[in-house]
Copies of this chain bind each other. A is one copy, B any other.
Amino acid sequence: MSTAEMSYEPLTPVSFLRRAAVVYGDRLAVVDGDQRFTYAELQERAHRLAGALVPLAEGRPVAVLAPNTHVMLEAHYGVPLAGVPLLALNLRLSAGELAYIVDHAEAGVLVHDAELGDLARAVANELAARGRPLHLVAAGGPDDAYEALLAGAPPTAVPVTDERGLLSLNYTSGTTGKPKGVMYHHRGAYLQALAMVMHTRMDVSSAFLWTLPMFHCNGWCFTWAVTAAGATHVCLRRVEPAEIWRLAREAGVTHFNAAPTVLISLANHPDAAPFDHPVRVATGGAPPSPALLSRLDALGVEVTHLYGLTETFGPAVVCDWRPEWDALDAPARARLKARQGVGNVVSGELRVIGRDGADVPADATTIGEVALRGNNVMAGYLKDPEATRAAAPDGWFRTGDLAVLHPDGYVELRDRAKDVIISGGENIASVEVEQVIAEHPAVLEVAVVGVPDDHWGEVPAAYVTLRPGHEVAPEEITEWVRGRLARFKAPKRVVFGELPKTSTGKIQKFVLRDQAREQAREQAPS
């Protein structure tokens, strides 16, 4: 090496494992069922995985289809250490959807959990039909091909030469059109991981429970952040409240991430009881309701509200809590906590851009689109320069989310651009109506969408899950809203039942919207 190299090293989140293997070598890195790995062991396994993948991957991405297991975690190190990008797959997708993604990404190897063998083989068959061979590696089960591969491989670590190079691909769930391959770069994930450590205050004594899927934005970069902190990864195959409560106690969990819907089911589970140590939860996807916050508070859980997209490495925005807010009453605290907030410590500038292209005034009223730029924004969509340009025509990545800017600089989402309900020419932010309904004592959770209406164009419809043992008439919900918001914002229809959700627990409004349109058509005079 030359003298100049003393002061430059490409930023990559994989380097956190190198450090952890030295500093926390004999400390617990991974808990997965009965299996335990120290950081020295995790590094050894990641290096062997890299050694196995170098000849198999042939320079192409390696796909992984697994729940939150040690295998999925190891892939977050072993695949980049093989010098190729990681493609973590959403295990809720169909074989057809997965085959499209694997094909689009040009992955030639698929490591899969043995439990997902049928799905993996279906993907391989679909690809074979297209003349694309896919090498399957099953992890777990009676003859564990993954373990055999590791046992026979030479420990390898291909150095990262370009920190702006491709680290991983994360396909957007895409409610319309084909999923797009969001390109994560090493530099962005490194910085985002450091930001996550800082904002959630993880340290070497922390234990992080994997409730959030690792395949979702690489687990908001916590796959690397937990290692940077030297904390313990507590793996979790399925998001089941009873299992989460058990692990939370037995493994001394201090941190986890989950959408409000997951937190609702946790907080209302029979096993829910206050923790005997501080627990910090980061939540996103939707603002936590006041009722949920007060319930979590009683359980000793401190909630941080984060916001971001696949394109921003997960949470690029954080509702950074100011100590003086602690003195406010619970409703005021909940209102503040419901804001998405401000750029995180590594984010670039955050803007709210009005229709005229100018920043909206910080008046808590004028709605614009949230836009941001910085090192934790994707490099672009894979093989889709047109969509990339459309996402950031002027260097500002447009989120598609509508928000107001508060006078203190905090952003609060009003809606997804496509979730705004336009009724009689007036905009109704569905989230505003949802917040009011969520305050009703009988309501567990709620989603409001627009349904077609001959007179008003659209009207709000509310889909509500009630708390166990509660009953309430639809009219009572409508009246509840009327007493608290402008009358035209009250739902014209209230439907009780379960809400459709994504793999990360986000409510799928497009499903409700389709359902509402269907029902509207059925009820219309033929």
- A506 interfacial contact with B, CB 8 Å: no
Distance in Å from the Cβ of A208 to the closest Cβ of chain B? 15
Contact B11 A375 (CB under 8 A): yes
Given A24-B322, A204-B320, A396-B1, verify A345-B7 contact (CB < 8 Å).
Answer: no
- A251 interfacial contact with B, CB 8 Å: no
- A33 interfacial contact with B, CB 8 Å: no
- A185 interfacial contact with B, CB 8 Å: yes
- Oligomer: number of copies: 2
- A272 interfacial contact with B, CB 8 Å: no
Distance in Å from the Cβ of A364 to the closest Cβ of chain B? 15
Out of B11, B375, B409, name the residue touching A7 (CB < 8 Å). Answer: B375
Contact B23 A375 (CB under 8 A): no
B residues less than 8 Å from A154 (CB atoms): none
Out of B16, B22, B205, name the residue touching A323 (CB < 8 Å). Answer: B205
Which interface residue of A2, A6, A228, A349 has the most chain B CB atoms within 10 A? A6
- A392 interfacial contact with B, CB 8 Å: yes
The answer for the CA separation of A23 and B349 in the assembled complex, in Å, is 12
Which interface residue of A24, A198, A389 has the most chain B CB atoms within 10 A? A198
- A96 interfacial contact with B, CB 8 Å: no
Out of B4, B7, B345, name the residue touching A188 (CB < 8 Å). Answer: B7
Contact A392 B204 (CB under 8 A): no
Contact A194 B204 (CB under 8 A): no
Contact B342 A7 (CB under 8 A): no
- A388 interfacial contact with B, CB 8 Å: yes
Closest to A396 in B: B6
B residues less than 8 Å from A393 (CB atoms): 3
Contact A6 B320 (CB under 8 A): no
- Residues 179-194 (chain A) with a chain B CB within 8 angstroms: 185, 188, 194
Contact B6 A397 (CB under 8 A): yes
B residues less than 8 Å from A474 (CB atoms): none
Contact B205 A23 (CB under 8 A): no
Distance in Å from the Cβ of A170 to the closest Cβ of chain B? 14
B residues less than 8 Å from A61 (CB atoms): none
Contact B7 A185 (CB under 8 A): yes
The answer for the CA separation of A205 and B3 in the assembled complex, in Å, is 41
- A374 interfacial contact with B, CB 8 Å: yes
The total of chain A residues at the interface (CB under 8 A) is: 61
- Mask: chain A, 227-266; 1 = CB below 8 Å from B; 0 = not: 0111000000000000000000000000000000000000
- A301 interfacial contact with B, CB 8 Å: no
B residues less than 8 Å from A18 (CB atoms): 349
Distance in Å from the Cβ of A401 to the closest Cβ of chain B? 16
Contact B392 A9 (CB under 8 A): no
Contact A395 B345 (CB under 8 A): no
Contact B373 A5 (CB under 8 A): yes
Contact A379 B7 (CB under 8 A): yes
Contact A3 B389 (CB under 8 A): yes
Closest to A199 in B: B203
Distance in Å from the Cβ of A20 to the closest Cβ of chain B? 10
Given A19-B343, A375-B9, A409-B23, verify A203-B201 contact (CB < 8 Å).
Answer: yes
B residues less than 8 Å from A388 (CB atoms): 3
- A454 interfacial contact with B, CB 8 Å: no
- Residues 1-42 (chain A) with a chain B CB within 8 angstroms: 1-9, 11, 16, 18-19, 22-27
Q: Given A18-B349, A22-B342, list of 20 further CB < 8 A pairs?
A: A1-B373, A1-B395, A1-B396, A3-B393, A6-B377, A6-B391, A6-B395, A6-B397, A7-B188, A7-B380, A19-B345, A19-B347, A23-B342, A23-B409, A27-B322, A194-B345, A204-B320, A205-B323, A228-B345, A230-B320
Give chain A's interface residues, CB within 8 Å of chain B.
1-9, 11, 16, 18-19, 22-27, 164, 185, 188, 194, 197-198, 201, 203-205, 228-230, 320-323, 342-343, 345-349, 373-375, 377-380, 388-389, 391-397, 408-409
